[in-house]
């Protein structure tokens, strides 16, 4: 990402320790802080959420962001929580129970099957006590408390929101973003944001009929909260794998807005980035060369007009307002006939 950032003129949209800073994104971050504080105090005002809902959402995120490799998925559960098998369960029975969790749900009745698998997950596994994932699954009010504490004006731990307009940047430079569908990311106490995404998110806020989720949050705020969760996770455990932090943040994101943010981001990348001026000029030159090649192929070199007296076409002025130099006309030589006088007859 450092090469992508080097090609752009970024701007600080919000600085947590600069209380004199003003601007649109400063107001947005204040709103996010206030909503987290409200979630801490009145979670029932946001949405109905049970531990079963939490486990189902977490399990669906694992399905969406990991390969079908059972070992990889079991390792995620081991790192983020604890298995709680019965003492009488032998190795084979444990494997069978784990495999039943990660069997791909039948598409005919996907929601019901996913719910059944989530209940199986809750029966044999629990996230680490007092962890952010534990609170996302079981007690969203505590997530509000933790994030409100991080965003509080009295918290002197720095972090910045850095915006990237990426104006007139070659699309090849932006490949790390387009290939991973990345519109925001956290690094070194900074949240980096692709600023163009805001317009698309606001359009989705206006046009979409949202089913589920919390109506108190718009999609830009949801995106920022996703990144704030990752920031808090990295600050708490600098060694946490990026995939694990992303899975936990996505689980909270879907508590807020279900999968709507993911859909809106997919829509954004259908038309972003636009070709840079350099790319457009190169494309135009190629089109001109192709057109000239087609014309030459149609006319053939033998049929091309040949006028040795014409000046080089490359020297003609491009501005129509400039008159073309007139060619001097050559004077024609007119031969005079000499009439001989006839002699008079002698």
Is residue 191 domain-resident? yes
pLDDT digits (tens, 9 = 90+) for 178-213: 999 999 999 989 999 999 999 999 999 988 665 568
Q: How many domains does the chain have?
A: 1
| 8: confidence class by pLDDT, cuts 50, 70, 90 | confident
Distance of alpha carbon 185 from the chain centroid: 10
Is residue 292 domain-resident? no
pLDDT digits (tens, 9 = 90+) for 219-268: 999 999 999 999 999 999 999 999 999 999 999 999 999 999 999 999 99
Place of tokens 């997530």: 143
Is residue 285 domain-resident? no
Backbone angles phi, psi at 15, to 5 degrees: -125, 115
| 94: confidence class by pLDDT, cuts 50, 70, 90 | very high
Is residue 190 domain-resident? yes
Query: What's the domain range around 123?
Result: 2-268
Tell me the average pLDDT across 125-136.
98
Q: What pLDDT is recorded for position 300?
A: 73
Rounded Cα distance, 35 and 136, in Å: 16
Is residue 346 domain-resident? no
Bridge partners of 160, per DSSP, are 15, 190
Long-range contacts of 233-240 (CB under 8 A, 24+ apart): 233/132, 234/186, 235/157, 235/189, 236/132
**Which has more confidence, 39 or 300?**
39
Is residue 335 domain-resident? no
Rounded Cα distance, 45 and 52, in Å: 19
Is residue 337 domain-resident? no
Tell me the average pLDDT across 10-33.
95
Is residue 324 domain-resident? no
């Amino acid at each position: 990402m450092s090469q992508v950032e080097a090609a752009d003129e970024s701007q600080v949209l919000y600085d947590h320790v600069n209380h004199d800073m003003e601007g649109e994104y400063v107001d947005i971050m204040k709103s996010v802080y206030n909503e987290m504080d409200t979630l801490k105090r009145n979670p029932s005002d946001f949405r109905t959420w049970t531990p079963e809902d939490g486990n189902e959402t977490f399990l669906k995120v694992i399905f969406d962001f990991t390969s079908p490799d059972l070992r990889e998925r079991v390792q995620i559960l081991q790192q983020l929580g604890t298995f709680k098998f019965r003492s009488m369960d032998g190795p084979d029975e444990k494997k069978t129970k784990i495999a039943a969790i990660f069997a791909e749900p039948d598409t005919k009745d996907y929601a019901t099957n996913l719910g059944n698998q989530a209940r199986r997950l809750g029966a044999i596994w629990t996230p680490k006590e007092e962890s952010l994932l534990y609170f996302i699954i079981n007690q969203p009010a505590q997530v509000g408390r933790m994030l409100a504490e991080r965003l509080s004006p009295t918290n002197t731990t720095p972090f910045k929101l850095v915006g990237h307009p990426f104006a007139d940047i070659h699309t090849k430079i932006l490949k790390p973003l387009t290939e991973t569908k990345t519109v925001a990311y956290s690094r070194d106490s900074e949240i980096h944001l692709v600023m163009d995404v805001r317009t698309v998110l606001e359009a989705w806020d206006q046009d979409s009929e949202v089913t589920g989720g919390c109506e108190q949050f718009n999609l830009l705020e949801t995106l920022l909260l996703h990144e704030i969760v990752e920031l808090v996770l990295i600050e708490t455990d600098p060694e946490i794998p990026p995939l694990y932090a992303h899975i936990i943040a996505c689980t909270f994101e879907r508590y807020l807005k279900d999968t709507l943010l993911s859909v809106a981001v997919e829509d954004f990348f259908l038309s972003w980035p636009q070709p840079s001026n350099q790319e457009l000029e190169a494309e135009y030159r190629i089109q001109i060369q192709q057109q000239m090649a087609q014309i030459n192929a149609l006319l053939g070199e033998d049929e091309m007009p040949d006028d040795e007296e014409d000046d080089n076409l490359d020297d003609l002025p491009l501005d129509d307002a400039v008159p073309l130099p007139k060619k001097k006309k050559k004077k024609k030589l007119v031969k005079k006939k000499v009439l001989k006088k006839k002699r008079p007859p002698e």
